[in-house]
Amino acid sequence: MKILLQPPRLRIGEESEQEPRHATWLELFYDLVFVVAVSQVAHNLYEDVSLKGFLGFTFLFIPIWWAWIGTTFYSNRFDSDDIAHRLLTGVQMVAIAALAVNIHHGLSDSSGGFALAYAAGRAVLVIEYLRVAKHIPSARALATRYATGFAIAASLWLLSAFVPTPQRFIIWVIGLIVDFATPLTARKLQAGLPPHLEHLPERFGLFTIIVLGEAIIAVVDGVSEQEWDVSSAVCAVLGFAIAFCLWWIYFENIDGSALRSASSAGKLEVFQLWLYGHLPLVIGLAAAGVGVEHIIMGESSVALPAEKRWLLCGSVALCLLALGFLHRTGVIFRCKVRTKFRFAAAAVLVLVAVIGVGWSPLLVVGIVFLVCASQVVQDLYQSGKVSFG
């Protein structure tokens, strides 16, 4: 019991960086509620694939993602497997579960419940940072800054629950700005407390897997609700292959080298780029799964509607643009060639979305697959793993 009653401890520094560091069982258990939350917000998008529906999906997705980010960065620096931390994590899981429950009508009838759930999750994180400020003198300034900023944001979300719409959503935006700005205003304080270099890429990779999992679920759901024919079967296979290609070109290029270089050079902006640069990627991945499900569920003999064509092509293009940005900035494998290939592929998909009027679902999903597969082939060729000679 003595181990389970310890205060927060600093998990970074020269000695701790040499220790193998992986996600804990508690972190993996915590991730389960985000599987549900991502599934719920994707379901919202499935019911409305218009531009308005996509913007609403993004607006609800961002607080979910930021809630996960907050806990991940706290655990990265200060995780300790004591009773208090376990109980606080359990309370956070309840808050995120409540968030998921309120997502379905999160921009209408249940928006108040959504705001209260998000505020509760942030309040728990504030308590965690107050514990750090009390027990770890070297991290007191950073923990106090985070606790203050996140407390202000949580208070705004709490206040919004008692304000009518659309003013409620304006307060949400202000709260998110405060949330996002808090780490940006603490750069000097972060200089001596950079994140753990081994743990961070793994955690981001796990969230990426969660979102990619939603794409696989979408394929299975689409096939299970559709009468089998050759076209729907091929679309399902191609939809799975698109997710596989996106997994490949992300995880083939991700490692901790950029973070290690940034840490040794004191370039904290790389950590910020790592953090914020992943947001459009995971949004695109989640939306792509919904687009694939619509492709499978559609009539193979009928031209793909414009909004569904834009959803699939646009979401995959967003993924490729985000990957190109991450390549360009060196957050993942720095490579000008791969940056150009990602951007060019995104441009092709946007062009397909524009000119693909009257195209069949199978033709559209086939082109998207070929574009994604070309990225895999290019990476393999450039790395010397395949040869055409």
pLDDT tens for each residue of 121-165: 999 999 999 999 998 999 999 999 999 999 999 999 999 999 999
In the chain, where does DSSP find H-type helix? 14-17, 25-47, 51-78, 83-101, 111-135, 140-160, 167-184, 187-190, 199-224, 230-251, 257-265, 269-297, 306-329, 336-355, 361-382
74 within a domain of the structure (yes/no): yes
203: exposed, middle or buried (C-beta count within 10 Å: 0-12, 13-18, 19+)?
Answer: buried
**Cβ–Cβ < 8 Å for 371, 345:** yes
pLDDT tens for each residue of 208-222: 999 998 888 887 877
Question: What's the maximum distance between 2 C-alpha atoms anywhere in the chain?
Answer: 68
Confidence check: pLDDT of 259 > 70: no
The DSSP output letter for 235 is H
Confidence check: pLDDT of 226 > 50: yes
pLDDT of residue 2: 44
Q: Are residues 213 and 157 in the same domain?
A: no
Instruction: Count up the domains in the chain and report the number.
Output: 2
The DSSP output letter for 204 is H
2 within a domain of the structure (yes/no): no
Q: Are residues 182 and 257 in the same domain?
A: no
Q: Are residues 34 and 15 in the same domain?
A: yes
**Cβ–Cβ < 8 Å for 120, 33:** no
pLDDT of residue 84: 85
pLDDT tens for each residue of 62-88: 999 999 999 999 988 888 878 888 999
Confidence check: pLDDT of 266 > 90: no
CA 261/CA 322 separation, integer angstroms: 21
Range of the domain at 364: 199-382
Q: Are residues 251 and 185 in the same domain?
A: no
377 within a domain of the structure (yes/no): yes
Q: Are residues 209 and 123 in the same domain?
A: no
pLDDT band with cut points at 50, 70 and 90 for residue 170:
very high
Provide the token pair at 75: 């655990």
**Cβ–Cβ < 8 Å for 368, 313:** yes
The domain boundary, picked from 190, 208, 235, lies at 190
Q: Are residues 179 and 317 in the same domain?
A: no
pLDDT of residue 387: 56
Q: Which residue has the tokens 């208090």?
A: 84
Q: Are residues 163 and 212 in the same domain?
A: no
Q: Label residue 278 left, alpha or beta by phi (over 0 means left) and psi (-120 to 50 means alpha).
A: alpha
Q: Are residues 166 and 253 in the same domain?
A: no
pLDDT band with cut points at 50, 70 and 90 for residue 1:
very low
1 within a domain of the structure (yes/no): no
- CA-to-CA dists, residue 260 to 15, 201, 279, angstroms: 15, 11, 21
pLDDT of residue 20: 60
